[in-house]
Amino acid sequence: MPKNNLKIKVKNSGLVKMQFFNDFPDGNLVIGEANKNVPFAIKRVYFINNLLNKKSVRGKHAHKKLEQVIFCVNGKFTLSLDDGKNRQKITLDSPYFGVRLGPRLWHTMSSFSSDCVILVLADNYYKESDYIRDYGKFLKYVRQ
């Protein structure tokens, strides 16, 4: 299993290690299982690709209740996390480790390589009312 020594310092986050089988030279098999290495039951999966605009910035929100794990399955990008007190920037460039995006965690994705593919596993369906898209409101929400 490839190693990742990254330490996550913000709240409501953490590293998710995928199960890994090295079938060299016939490929790698990489597995996530609900309530095992993925810390919830998965209800929704989405991916983001075609990140051709170098200046593109995505995310810029927090969730009230949603639990997610975000992966970079190809290429790389920068994930910026902010729990209202601590901030951390992470380069995601390995498909073997995901980062937990728990609730009350402001997250921004940027600096995408053009071949970047982001995969997200979520514990619930899309619900716009779960988003906090205003940073001032986010700070009030986490400090109340």
Give me the residues that bind ligand T46 (CB under 6 A), please.
Answer: 44, 46, 48, 58-59, 68, 70, 101, 120, 126
Residue closer to ligand T46, measured from CB, 44 or 140: 44
Residue closer to ligand T46, measured from CB, 48 or 73: 48
Q: How far is the CB of 44 from ligand T46 (least distance, A)?
A: 6
Residue closer to ligand T46, measured from CB, 18 or 62: 62
Degrees to nearest 5, angle at CA 38 with 36 and 44: 125
Residue closer to ligand T46, measured from CB, 18 or 51: 51
Residues 31 and 19: their CA atoms lie apart, in Å, by: 5
Q: How far is the CB of 25 from ligand T46 (least distance, A)?
A: 34
**8 is written with which tokens?**
């996550």
Q: Which residues are catalytic?
A: 61
Cβ atoms 92, 51 nearer than 8 A: no
Residues 66 and 131: their CA atoms lie apart, in Å, by: 9
Side by side, which strands form the sheet with 44-48? Answer: 15-17, 97-101, 68-74, 117-122, 44-48
- CA 80 to the chain's CA centroid: 10
Q: How far is the CB of 24 from ligand T46 (least distance, A)?
A: 32
Q: How far is the CB of 79 from ligand T46 (least distance, A)?
A: 9
